[in-house]
């Protein structure tokens, strides 16, 4: 059983505190994506689990065994952990087979069958076994790095932004191949990434790390729909904010109407949050609301439509995400309907007027 638990883990480089009382549970056989901006402490968290760094306080527990904690230290090579780095870290002078075999225990390094089995597991043909890493694409190199990490059959695999250097298409196919291989082996995995789409699509659980603190950890759909606060909401995708007032019966009133709230709503003034895809456009005169299209960002598969509700000082800017085939044009009048419940957070003075904010540290795929 290889679950992972971090209990109140604090880490620092000299006087620079990096992780602050981090608590995280990764259940056996599941994948957790730790999503955070640059410098948030993602790699440090992996280093603590792998045993490349000691926590200043707190405990790391792998498979029920404390591997780091007060008076306890299990060295990396005895933790049963595989590690895949951002750039793969393959040995350039060894063949693909040599690189993968390097991950096997000594007596088995000549077992070519196991190398072929691992190549197959990560979706690579047997022909690449004799090539050198520089004769492979970036995505193929990352698959070889994964095969090498899986070679000793680790119960836990740590992935440090392994897809970040790949272009969009290669990133998606390599990510899918990695997810399949991990599932086939039943290994528990922790992926760190700054890419929200990657975190949401790859993992069973997403943990948001900002400034060394885990802000929320939950299943992808749950965390996207029910972020604990406005910061997490923005961190994990496009979020539309409008000012509102809590009403009775679990609703809020705001420029978008009286809307049901998901979860608890604070009392009084609130910031109402919804996702751009919760705003659907209809022909002018047919929706719950009317708006003017100010700008359209067209992405092919979808489009973000910036809308102005009301006018003059009361104008409220919001953004809707619509499927890409026939988005409206700037200047069009459109109708709007709001789909599903919204979230309500305590109003913050630094969000005057609410409305769309573009400060998300992790841009969406669009
Ligand atoms: N060896 C080190 N010595 C001193 N400070 C370090 C060291 N490694 C990292 N840091 C600092 O610790 C903080 C967290 O670094 P870490 O690499 O864990 O962040 P990260 O979230 O993985 O960032 P990135 O996505 O940019 O790789 C950063 O401020 C970084 O500058």
Return left, alpha or beta for 13; rule: phi > 0 is left, psi -120 to 50 is alpha, else beta. beta
Q: With beta carbons less than 8 A apart as the criterion, state whether 3 and 187 touch.
A: no
Cβ 41 under 6 angstroms from ligand 1 = yes
Structural domains of the chain, with CATH:
4-226 (3.40.50.300), 238-346 (2.40.50.140)
Sorting pLDDT into bands at 50, 70 and 90, what band is 42? very high
Cα separation of 322 and 145, whole Å? 39
**What sign does the CA torsion over 92, 94, 99, 102 have?**
negative
Strands 205-210 and 31-35: parallel
Instruction: State percent of the chain over pLDDT 70.
Output: 93
Ligand 1, atom 11: nearest CA belongs to which residue?
Answer: 39
> Would you say 10 and 213 are in contact if contact means Cβ atoms under 8 Å apart?
no
Average pLDDT over residues 2-26: 96
Test site for ligand 1: of 10, 13, 45, 49, most ligand atoms within 8 A of the Cβ: 13
Predicted ipTM beyond 0.85? yes
The encoded tokens of residue 137 equal 């694409």
Inter-helix orientation angle 168-185/112-121, to 10°: 120
Residue of minimum CA distance from atom 16 in ligand 1: 41
Residues 243 and 355: their CA atoms lie apart, in Å, by 7
Q: Could you tell me the distance, in angstroms and rounded to a whole number, from the CA of residue 63 to the centre of ligand 1?
A: 27
Hunting for tokens 């991990």 — which residue is that? 182
Distance of CA 333 to the CA centre of its chain: 36
- What does the alpha-carbon distance between residue 60 and residue 64 come to, in Å, rounded to a whole number? 10
Transcribe 168-212 into DSSP letters. Answer: HHHHHHHHHHHHHHHHHHT-EEEEEES-HHHHHHH-SEEEEEETT
* 304 three-state secondary structure: strand
216 pLDDT higher than 50: yes
HSE at residue 335, side-chain half, CA atoms within 13 A, is: 8
Residue 309 has pLDDT above 90, yes or no: yes
What is the arithmetic mean of pLDDT over 241-246?
94
Q: Rounded to whole angstroms, what are the CA distances from 302 to 13, 49, 230, 325, 365?
A: 43, 39, 24, 7, 11
The pTM for the full model equals 0.88
- What pLDDT is attached to residue 107? 64
For the chain, the average pLDDT equals 90
Phi first, then psi, for residue 352 (nearest 5°) are: -60, 130
Give the C-alpha separation, 325 to 164, whole Å.
30
Contact 193, 361 (CB under 8 A): no
Angle, helices 168-185/138-150, rounded to nearest 10 degrees: 20
What's the confidence (pLDDT) of residue 351? Answer: 60
**Distance of CA 366 to CAs 3, 49, 178, 276, Å?**
34, 33, 24, 12
- Which pLDDT tens digit goes with each residue over 312-329? 778 899 999 999 788 999
Say yes or no to pLDDT of 363 above 60.
Answer: no
The beta strands (E) that lie in 183-309 are given as: 188-193, 205-210, 213-218, 240-246, 251-254, 257-260, 269-274, 279-283, 289-298, 302-309
352 pLDDT above the threshold of 50: no
Ligand 1 center–CA 256 separation, angstroms:
42
Ligand 1, closest atom to CA 46?
18
Q: Is 90 exceeded by the pLDDT of residue 356? A: no
264 vs 23, higher pLDDT: 23
Does 193 contact ligand 1 (Cβ within 6 A)?
no
């Amino acid at each position: 059983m290889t679950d992972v638990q971090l209990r109140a883990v604090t880490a620092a480089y000299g006087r620079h505190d990096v992780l602050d009382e981090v608590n995280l549970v990764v259940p056996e056989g599941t994948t957790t994506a730790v999503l955070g901006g640059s410098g948030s402490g993602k790699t440090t968290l992996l280093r603590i689990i792998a045993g490349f760094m000691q926590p200043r306080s707190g405990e790391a527990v792998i498979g029920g065994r404390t591997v780091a904690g007060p008076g306890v230290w299990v060295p990396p090579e005895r933790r049963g952990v595989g590690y895949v780095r951002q750039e793969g870290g393959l040995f350039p002078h060894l063949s693909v087979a040599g690189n993968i075999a390097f991950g096997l225990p000594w007596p088995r390094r000549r077992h070519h069958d196991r190398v072929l089995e691992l190549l197959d597991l990560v979706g690579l043909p047997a022909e690449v076994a004799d090539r050198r890493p520089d004769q492979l694409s970036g995505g193929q190199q990352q698959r070889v790095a994964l095969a090498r990490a899986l070679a000793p059959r680790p119960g836990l695999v740590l992935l440090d932004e392994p897809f970040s250097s790949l272009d969009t298409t290669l990133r998606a196919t390599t990510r899918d191949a990695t997810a399949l291989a991990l599932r086939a082996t039943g290994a528990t995995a922790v992926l760190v990434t700054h890419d929200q789409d990657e975190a949401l699509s790859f993992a069973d659980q997403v943990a948001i790390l900002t400034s060394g603190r885990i802000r929320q950890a939950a299943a992808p759909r749950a965390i996207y729909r029910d972020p604990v606060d406005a910061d997490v909401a923005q961190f994990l995708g496009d979020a539309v904010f409008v000012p509102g007032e809590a009403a009775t019966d679990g609703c809020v009133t705001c420029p978008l109407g009286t809307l049901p709230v998901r979860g608890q709503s604070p009392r009084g003034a609130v910031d109402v949050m919804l996702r751009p895809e919760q705003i659907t456009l209809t022909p002018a005169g047919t929706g719950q609301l009317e708006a003017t299209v100010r700008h359209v960002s067209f992405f092919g598969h979808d489009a973000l439509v910036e809308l102005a509700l009301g006018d003059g000082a009361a104008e409220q800017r919001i953004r809707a995400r619509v499927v890409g085939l026939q988005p409206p044009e700037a200047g069009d009048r459109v109708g709007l309907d709001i789909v599903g419940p919204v979230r309500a957070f305590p109003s913050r003075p630094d969000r005057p007027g609410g409305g769309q904010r573009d400060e998300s540290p992790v841009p969406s795929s669009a």
